[in-house]
């Protein structure tokens, strides 16, 4: 079974699908879980590798994937493609935290954005909010920013 950190919220809000954070670095993983939980009052699942991400996506069907570019067991772009190809939620909006790139695009049918590190909380919150609102609106709004 995957080692999965779960950051619960109040029961009335806990019915919404969670956000999944996949990051090898425990400090980044914990930080993202804490700030996203506080800002969006959502359950946040955290895992440290691609194998665990598959288990959580299958079990919890998240509304958003945040994948770090420093995963040790798989390339984050490959993981993103695999998660979308092999799950029921093939259009899960995905935010990739990348050291080199800051752009958006539609990749193999699902909306994807790159958030360059280091990033501001305002930019993180904006991208997450757009992704949670609706994946099609998210792609449209990213193309104009």
Most confident range, picked from 32-46, 72-86, 102-116: 32-46
pLDDT score recorded for residue 89: 58
C-alpha closest to that of 29 among 4, 11, 8: 4
Q: What CATH code would you report for 5-143? A: 3.40.50.2300
pLDDT score recorded for residue 6: 53
C-alpha closest to that of 16 among 35, 49, 41, 53: 41
Mean pLDDT, the chain, rounded, equals 78
Evaluate if pTM is beyond 0.85. no
């Amino acid at each position: 079974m995957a080692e999965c950190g779960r950051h619960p919220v109040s029961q009335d809000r806990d019915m919404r699908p969670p956000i999944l954070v996949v990051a090898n670095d425990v400090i980044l993983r914990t930080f993202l879980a804490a700030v996203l939980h506080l800002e969006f009052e959502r359950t946040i699942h955290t895992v440290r590798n691609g194998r665990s991400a598959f288990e959580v996506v299958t079990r919890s069907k998240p509304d958003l994937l945040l994948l770090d570019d420093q995963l040790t067991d798989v390339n984050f772009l490959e993981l993103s493609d695999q998660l979308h190809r092999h799950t029921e939620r093939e259009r899960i909006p995905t935010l990739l935290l990348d050291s080199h790139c800051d752009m958006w695009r539609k990749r193999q049918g699902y909306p994807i954005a790159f958030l360059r590190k280091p990033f501001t909380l305002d930019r993180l919150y904006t991208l997450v909010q757009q992704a949670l609102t609706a994946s099609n609106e998210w792609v449209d709004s990213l193309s104009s920013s």
